[in-house]
Amino acid sequence: MRRFSQRNSLVTLSEINITPLLDLAFVLLIIFVIISPSIKSQQDHGMELNLPQGGGPAPKVDPRNRRVVEINRDGAVMLDRQRMVPERIEQELVNTFRRNPNLVVQIRGDGKGRIEDLWDIVDRCQRNGIFKFQIDTQPRKN
């Protein structure tokens, strides 16, 4: 629909009302700010785990040198957010260790899970010469 100015009936105005566009931009910004923490936490870890209570925060490790193994309560195991059987995880870790001798295996195990599943992964690593581990825990509540 054309709008005409009051002065001359042949001249059209080229004005755009940007208020609805700004409203939409602000709504999208608010949604992004609310959702972004949950997106970040899902990217960091693949499983919902209740980590056991332990020491303080873990030291920072270069992401290029780190592989994350997660073990849930039922004994399901994931390597870098991909579900695998322990034999396959062992193969992947050995291949990574051959390419990168600075490999650190970060193990995240559910506090209510079986300890045997965690020690199985540790044993598989040690048999192949991988001795750098980081076992994640929750900080102790004082």
Domain of 132: which CATH number?
Answer: 3.30.420.270
- Tell me whether residue 48 is in a domain: no
Would the pLDDT of 45 be above 70?
no
- Tell me whether residue 104 is in a domain: yes
- Tell me whether residue 38 is in a domain: no
H-run or E-run covering 66 = strand 66-71
pTM higher than the cut 0.75: no
- Tell me whether residue 67 is in a domain: yes
- Tell me whether residue 76 is in a domain: yes
- Tell me whether residue 103 is in a domain: yes
Q: Which long-range contacts (CB under 8 A, 24 or more apart) does 111-118 make?
A: 111/49, 111/50, 111/51, 111/52, 111/53, 112/50, 112/73, 113/71, 113/72, 113/73, 113/74, 113/75, 114/75, 117/71, 117/75, 117/77, 118/71
Rounded Cα–Cα distance for residues 57 and 61 (Å): 12
If one counts the domains in the chain, the total is 1
Tokens of 72: 């849930």
* pLDDT tens for each residue of 104-136: 998 888 888 888 988 999 999 999 999 998 888
- Tell me whether residue 33 is in a domain: no
Q: Which domain holds residue 131?
A: 53-139
- Tell me whether residue 12 is in a domain: no
Which pLDDT value is given to residue 1? 53
* pLDDT tens for each residue of 63-107: 888 999 999 888 889 998 899 999 999 999 999 999 999 999 988
